[in-house]
A and B are shown apart, each in its own frame.
Chain A
Amino acid sequence: MEEIKQMTLAGALEGLRAKRFSSVELTRALLDVMVASQKDIHAFVTIDAEGALAQAAEADRRRAAGEEAPLLGAPVAMKDNMGVAGQPCTASSRILEGYVSPYDATVAAKLRAAGAVFLGRTNMDEFALGSTTQTSGFGPTENPVARGCIPGGSSGGSAAAVGGGLALAALGTDTGGSIRQPASHCGIVGVKPTYGLVSRYGIVACASSLDQVGPMTKTVEDAALLMDVISGHDPMDATSLDRPPTRLARQWEAPLAAQPLAGMTLGLPKEYFGDGLDPEVRALTEAAAKRAEALGATLREVSLPHAGYGIPTYYICMTAELSANLARFDGVRYGARVPAEDVLGQYLETRARGLGAEAKRRILLGTFVLSSGYYDAYYNRAQKVRTLIRRDFEAAYGACDLLLAPVTPEPAWPLGVYQDDPIRNYLSDVLTVGANLAGCCALSIPAGATAAGKPVGVQLLGPSLGEDALFRAARALELR
C-alpha cells in the first residue's frame, strides 16, 4: 500500500481505477491506522470495520464487473450527527447511546450511490455545541498535528481524522464555524457551503437556520469531488435550494493558469483584523493575501460594520433554535430513558442524566430568549440584527468577489483550558459565525503553521452560491 496517511481522495480514486490496490486493501489499511490511533487521538466514536469491509468488497465486485461511480470504493468518515442506515448515531451525546439510524441521511444516500465506503463515525462536541470537541459525551479528541491541543470543533473528530491521515476525507457540519475552525486547527480544507445547497435531511439538527453539511479534506480538489456528490436539491429538506449538484471538480481538468486570480478582487474585512487577533495568525493571513496578490488578485479593504454583533446575535438565534430542536430528546421514542412515576418526571430525569453541561447551558439560554417577556427583547431583536449583518455581507460583495480573512483569532490551545468559561469559548467563533448568519459560502484552507508548529488556516468567503469562484481561489491559494 502506498503511503496511506498522505493519500488524498483523488489519489485513492486514481489508484482504485488503475487497480494498483483494491477497495478492501485500502479500507483495511485505513482501519488499521484508525484503530491504532484511537488511544491517543480518539477521532472516532464508532469504527465500523465489518460494515466498511463488506461495502469495500461490494465496491471491488462492482468495479470488476466494469461499473464506475464517482467515489467507487473510496472510504470516507462521517461526523456522528449524520444518519447512516444500520450504524449508531449519537451526535456524541449519552442521551442517544444505543440509537441506530433506521435510514440514510440524504448526504449518506448520495455518497452510498456514488460508491463510497463508510469507515466510521467521528467524534464531535455534543450535538455540535462547542469549538473544541471537549463537550463530547464520549471523551475529547486530541489534535493530531498540534499534540496536546484541541482539534477545534464541533467537527473535531472529522478534522483530526483527516489531518492525522486516519481518513482520506470526511463530512462535517458547520453551524457557526464547526467545519472551518477545526479544519484550520488541524491543517486541512473545510467547506461550509451556501445555506440550502446541501441537504440536511437525516442530520441531527442543531440550529436549523444555520446548519450546513460540508466536506473536510486534505486538498481543495478532494473537497470539490465531495461537493459535487453531496450537493443539489432534496425534496426531503424544505430549506434545500432548487439547484442541481455543483460541478466544481471539472476545474481540475485544466492546469492552473500562471495568474489564476487575475481579474478577481479580494476584500479584506477590517473588523476581522482587529486587536484580538494573534500576531502569528495575522502574519499568516496577510501572507496569504500577498500570495493572492502575486497570483493576480486585487486586494481591497472592506468593512462589515456589524461584525461586533455577530457573537451576541448568533448565540441568541442559535440557542433558540437549539432549545426547540433538542426538545425531542425526552426519552419517549428513542435514546436513553430514565423511568419515573409520571411523564414530566421522565422528561426531567432523562434530560438531566443524558445531556452534558454545554447542552444544558445552551438549552437554558435558548429557552430564556424565547420565553414570554423576553422574546421581543432577545429573539426578535437578534433576527433583525441578523438582517443588518446579512446586508453588510451583501454590500461587501458589491465591492469585491470574495473576502479573505482569518478563520480563528488564535491557534489551537491546550486541551482542558477555558473549559468552564463559556464566553471565552463562544468568542472563538467570532470570525466564522458571520457566514452562517448571512447564509453565504466559506471555506478554510491551510495557510501555514506557527513557530510552535500549530496549523493555521485562512478563510475565503463568497456570496450565496458563489462556490465556483470560491473554489477557484482556494485552488490557487492552497499550500501543498
Chain B
Amino acid sequence: MAGFDIDRVALLARLRLTEEERARFGGQLETIVAYVDRIAGLELGGLDATLHGHDAGAPLRADAPVPGLPLEAVLANAPARIEDEIRMPRVVE
C-alpha cells in the first residue's frame, strides 16, 4: 500500500480540512486503507467485475419530453438567485 496523501485526496474531494481533521483523518485513513488492502492477495484472474446488484442492465426511458419540476419549487432551494437563475461566484474573468 502506498502512503495516503491526505492533502492530495482532500483537494480532489473538494474538502477543506482543519489541522485537527487533517491529523485525525490522515491516521484513521491509513488504518482503514491497510484494512481494506486485505483484498490485495486474492487471485482474481479472469473474473468479471460486478458493478450492480443485478444483471438486468439499466435501460433508458423513451427519449420523449415530459413535464419538468415547477421552476419556483426548484429555485426556492437555491442558496442565492437572480430572478429565474441561480447566482454563483464569477468563473470567467
Binding site for B on A (CB under 8 A): 98-100, 102-103, 194-196, 209-210, 212, 235-236, 238-239, 241-242, 308-309, 311-313, 315-316, 323, 327, 330-337, 339-349, 351-352, 355, 357, 360-361, 363-369, 371, 373-374, 377-378, 380-388, 390, 420, 422-423, 426, 436-439, 464
Contacts and interface: CB of A to CB of B under 8 A. Distances in A.
B82 interface: no
Interface string B55-78: 010111100000001100110111
Nearest to A367: B13
In this complex, which of B13, B40, B61, B70 has the most chain A Cβ atoms within 10 angstroms of its Cβ?
Answer: B13
B49 A384 contact: yes
B17 A352 contact: yes
In this complex, which of B54, B70, B78, B80 has the most chain A Cβ atoms within 10 angstroms of its Cβ?
Answer: B54
Question: What is the predominant secondary structure among interface residues of chain B facing chain A?
Answer: loop
A332 B91 CA distance: 13
Interface of B: 2, 4, 6, 8-10, 12-18, 21, 24-25, 28-29, 31-33, 35-40, 42, 44, 47-54, 56, 58-61, 69-70, 73-74, 76-80, 86, 88-91
Contact of B79 (A242, A336, A352, A420): A336
A422 B27 CA distance: 11
Contacts of B32: 315, 361, 365, 422-423, 426
Contacts of A103: 69, 73
Contacts of A349: 16
List the 9 closest pairs (A to B, CB-CB), nearest first: A195-B53, A439-B53, A337-B79, A383-B49, A102-B73, A238-B58, A334-B77, A348-B16, A386-B50
B38 to A, nearest CB: 5
B53 A239 contact: yes
Contacts of B28: 361, 422
Contacts of A464: 54
A305 to B, nearest CB: 11
Given A100-B77, A103-B69, A381-B44, A348 B15 contact: yes
In this complex, which of A102, A355, A361 has the most chain B Cβ atoms within 10 angstroms of its Cβ?
Answer: A102
A343 B91 contact: yes
B35 A351 contact: no
Contacts of B44: 381, 384-385, 388
Contacts of B16: 348-349, 351-352
A397 B56 CA distance: 19
A390 B74 CA distance: 40
Contacts of B4: 368
A313 B91 CA distance: 39
A368 B17 CA distance: 15
Contacts of A331: 79
Given A196-B54, A383-B51, A387-B50, 17 more contacts: A103-B73, A212-B53, A235-B61, A309-B38, A332-B86, A333-B86, A335-B79, A348-B14, A351-B14, A357-B21, A367-B9, A368-B4, A368-B29, A374-B2, A384-B44, A384-B49, A464-B54
